[in-house]
Amino acid sequence: MLGPLCVGCCAFEVERHDPLCGAPDLWRLLGSAVCRSPSDRRHRLAIADSKKLKRHHSQRATGHPLQHLERGVLSFCRAMGVQTADDVALFDHLEAQVPSQPWYDSSTPLPLAHQAVELDLAAGVLKRAMDAAGVRCVLMACRMIPAEELNRQVAKMGTKASVNLCSVMWRIEALWRGWPESHPRVVVDRLGGRIHYRRSLSVCFPGARIRVLAEGPALSRYRLQRNGSLLTVSFGPHAEDAHLPVALASMIAKYVRDLMMLRMNRFFGSRLPELKPTAGYVADARRYLDQIGPLMKRLRISPSRLIRRV
């Protein structure tokens, strides 16, 4: 209900892999550095669906709520040679444009939940594992859609699902343009219950020839060809459980959103010291809006600029 809609993306190059054998298992290839469980005894990086990582923290109620998201995201940044002293540097690396609303006009020193040296050590282990496996993380990105823009796009397109799909297609086009000779293989977590994507692909890629490779409840896969360049796109349920890049993209989106909510809470909290922070989800967001309502009127903040209508 509050905060931006965030769409995460990341891309890897894998040297020693035959695409005919299916998608590479990066959890296996990078097994000395990464795992799926935040309770790993070897203290490897937990790369998993962001909701599961947050749920694990809620159940344990120990440590900082962003500890697993931050460790994974910032360690991958450091393994790419990118230092992030604050969220401004992180957003720059992620090509994430911060909305211009005043409640987002601040910055947060990073890391929040770890010592920098801890992340440097984890990144070093990760970099060695990637080098040994012939794996490179070549892109980490996130698109932020603030409430005002989201409301406007939903009014134009009809549904939030259409906005999500448009954002995904925009990112796929950017990946294809970035690696036209490499035949990128893109995996997308299924958008709601949607199974058929051919029509949407034809609208977004009007000059491409599209071949349906699979279309069903378990998998929807398409091969696109344009000017001699190939692209394969797959949509599937729970893709973050099957593909490490999708899991990492999920973590990127969630971490960015939570950092943006820190900015929002800082803005309103500095003016209402008794205000309890919110994560922005519906039930608690209503409480938050009730408390900041008079302040919004004084500051002449239109609800449509702050509140997501879907």
| Predicted pLDDT of residue 56 | 74
Is residue 113 within 8 Å of 62, Cβ to Cβ?
A: no
Tens digits of per-residue pLDDT, 37-93?
999 999 999 999 998 897 776 666 678 999 999 999 999 999 999 999 999 999 999
Q: What is the mean pLDDT of residues 169-195?
A: 94
Tens digits of per-residue pLDDT, 221-254?
999 999 999 999 999 999 999 999 999 999 999 9
Closest of 242, 236, 206 to residue 224, by C-alpha: 206
Q: What is the mean pLDDT of residues 17-39?
A: 94
**What's the burial of 183, exposed, middle or buried (CB within 10 Å: 0-12/13-18/19+)?**
middle
| Predicted pLDDT of residue 177 | 96
Distance, in Å, from the CA atom of 167 to the CA atom of 175, rounded to the nearest integer, reads 13
| Predicted pLDDT of residue 269 | 98
Asked whether the predicted pLDDT for residue 126 surpasses 80, the reply is yes
- The angle formed by the CA atoms of residues 40, 42 and 45, to the nearest 5 degrees, is 65
| Predicted pLDDT of residue 54 | 78
Closest of 129, 102, 171, 140 to residue 26, by C-alpha: 129
Whether this model's pTM surpasses 0.85: yes
| Predicted pLDDT of residue 59 | 66
Q: What is the mean pLDDT of residues 214-220?
A: 96
Q: What is the mean pLDDT of residues 95-113?
A: 97
Distance, in Å, from the CA atom of 171 to the CA atom of 174, rounded to the nearest integer, reads 5
The 3-state DSSP class for residue 52 equals helix
Q: Which two tokens stand for residue 168?
A: 């995904």
Mean predicted lDDT score pLDDT of the chain: 95
| Predicted pLDDT of residue 61 | 65
Q: What is the mean pLDDT of residues 144-152?
A: 96
The 3-state DSSP class for residue 25 equals coil
Helix (H) or strand (E) holding 45: strand 45-46
| Predicted pLDDT of residue 287 | 97
Q: In this predicted structure, which of 127-131, 197-201, 277-281, 306-310 has the lowest mean pLDDT?
A: 306-310
Distance, in Å, from the CA atom of 98 to the CA atom of 164, rounded to the nearest integer, reads 18
Percent over 90 (pLDDT), the chain:
91
Asked whether the predicted pLDDT for residue 129 surpasses 70, the reply is yes
Q: What is the mean pLDDT of residues 161-181?
A: 95
Is residue 299 within 8 Å of 292, Cβ to Cβ?
A: no
Q: Within 10 Å of residue 178's Cβ, how many Cβ atoms?
A: 12
Q: Which two tokens stand for residue 43?
A: 């203290």
Distance, in Å, from the CA atom of 42 to the CA atom of 35, rounded to the nearest integer, reads 9
| Predicted pLDDT of residue 48 | 97
User: CA 7 → CA 123, 170, 227, distances in Å?
Assistant: 24, 11, 28
Q: pLDDT band for position 193 (50/70/90)? A: confident
Q: pLDDT band for position 36 (50/70/90)? A: very high
Which of 60 and 32 is assigned the larger pLDDT?
32
Q: pLDDT band for position 195 (50/70/90)? A: very high
